Amino acid sequence: MQSLSEYLQAHPDLRFIFTGGKGGVGKTVSAAVLAYQYAQQGKRTLLASLNPVHSLSSLFGQDLTGGSVKPVQGVNNLFAIEVSTEDAVEKYRQNVGQRIREFLKYADIPVDPKAFIDIAMTNPAFEESAMFDKMSDMMLMQSGEYDRIVFDTAAVANAVRLIGLSKIYGLWLGRLIESRKEALSLRVQLSFRKEKVAQEVARDPMMADLMAMNERFIEVKKLLVDPEVTAFFFVTLPLSLPISVVKRFIEMVKGYDIPVGGVIVNEVITPQALQGAADEYLLNKFKEQGAYLRIIDQDLGPLVRAYVPLYPREVVGLESLRQVAEDMFRPVEALAGELLA
């Protein structure tokens, strides 16, 4: 069993770190601690919330809203952004709309493009496509500015669709490029002015745009599947439903060839917390937790990187984060033996 500290030391070139799991399990806190730890090591780090329901502002006790990068007060080298879903969708809508207009203009189709744009926006994965586009921008354009980028993803359903686009997007682009090649080839064959049309085809703006998109996607995909630069950490609680969700989520992410960094088990009741306790509810929860911890050890054991205790108060502010960081980066073997005894 490799601890979180040992894993990160064994992967010194990690640049993109994702956290995911069921809603309410502590993804944001885990992402914030990872970013905080890197910043403490002197790494210029960006913490990016891709969650439609942001909580970084509440966690750090400062205004991080607005969709722009801001320095985190009190922590050198740490910056944060709460990515605005609305802004990302609007920018993506404009880009898609521009491509549709260019296509209709180039094809000499005299129709109002609005209906086509509206249809494109009704795609069930349009929002995830927009966020994938924003995430890609950050990975390609801002990775030169930061040593590490930590992404706090949305709850499982949205995150799976987001990550799944890393494969679907490529298939879609490949098919579009092939279709465009066929259409251009047919246009040349049917033309009476083959030489002139061939010259126009060579300057086809839509093909140039598709090729640029494909090159950008290939670059992002290469980063996403590289275990030396990317890792996805899953956060769970010692409870049945979060464990089941993480197990399914891990298999889905593996199916997209994205490297799994490990599992963080949150809100664990430690034996020390029971010393002198006479609360029947707490004692019963401790016993119940033991059974779930054994399930985690049996099904996910080698992937467990940290056990984070249940705190008596909500994790808010830098002092709380420092305590979580201390606990999250403890050696995991000894604690696992104690909890599973």
* Domain shared by 68 and 177, yes or no: no
Calculate mean pLDDT across residues 109-120. 63
Residue matched to tokens 């940290």: 306
Model confidence, pTM: 0.81
Domain presence at residue 139: no
Q: Which of 130-134, 308-312, 326-330 has the lowest mean pLDDT?
A: 130-134
CB 235 within 8 A of CB 266: yes
Domain presence at residue 138: no
* Domain shared by 63 and 94, yes or no: no
Quick one: pLDDT at residue 224?
86
Quick one: pLDDT at residue 173?
61
Higher-scoring residue by pLDDT: 158, 312: 312
Quick one: pLDDT at residue 191?
59
* Domain shared by 78 and 93, yes or no: no
pLDDT in tens, 66-103: 888 999 999 999 999 998 777 766 776 777 667 666 66
Question: What is the residue range of 113's domain?
Answer: 87-132+161-221
Q: Which of 104-118, 186-200, 241-255 has the lowest mean pLDDT?
A: 186-200
Phi, psi torsion values for 70, nearest 5 degrees: -135, 145
Average pLDDT, the chain: 81
* Domain shared by 261 and 201, yes or no: no
Domain presence at residue 141: no
Which residues fall within 8 angstroms of residue 266, CB to CB, at 6 or more apart? Answer: 25, 26, 29, 30, 235, 236, 237, 308
Domain presence at residue 232: yes
Of 221, 238, 254, which marks where a domain is finished? Answer: 221
* Domain shared by 70 and 108, yes or no: no
Domain presence at residue 199: yes
* Domain shared by 171 and 293, yes or no: no
CB 147 within 8 A of CB 45: yes
pLDDT in tens, 22-39: 888 999 999 999 999 999
Task: Give the confidence band of 14 by pLDDT, cuts at 50, 70, 90.
Answer: very high
Tell me the C-alpha distance between 210 and 288, whole Å.
54
Domain presence at residue 326: yes
pLDDT in tens, 268-306: 998 887 776 667 888 888 889 999 999 999 999 899 999
* Domain shared by 41 and 169, yes or no: no
Cα distances (Å, whole numbers) of residue 247 to 16, 21, 260, 337: 22, 10, 12, 22
| C-alpha 212, offset from chain centre | 23
Phi, psi torsion values for 127, nearest 5 degrees: -65, -45
Task: Give the confidence band of 116 by pLDDT, cuts at 50, 70, 90.
Answer: low
* Domain shared by 249 and 308, yes or no: yes
* Domain shared by 111 and 69, yes or no: no
Of 198, 221, 244, which marks where a domain is finished? Answer: 221
Quick one: pLDDT at residue 255?
80
pLDDT above 90 (res 266): yes
Of 187, 203, 221, which marks where a domain is finished? Answer: 221
Task: Give the confidence band of 202 by pLDDT, cuts at 50, 70, 90.
Answer: low
Say which CATH number the domain at 281 has.
Answer: 3.40.50.300
Instruction: Return the percentage of the chain with pLDDT > 70, whole number.
Output: 72
* Domain shared by 152 and 279, yes or no: yes
* Domain shared by 112 and 63, yes or no: no
Quick one: pLDDT at residue 171?
64
Calculate mean pLDDT across residues 161-165. 58
SS (H, E, C) 297-336: HHHHHHHEEEEEECCCCCCCCHHHHHHHHHHHCCCHHHHH
Domain presence at residue 137: no
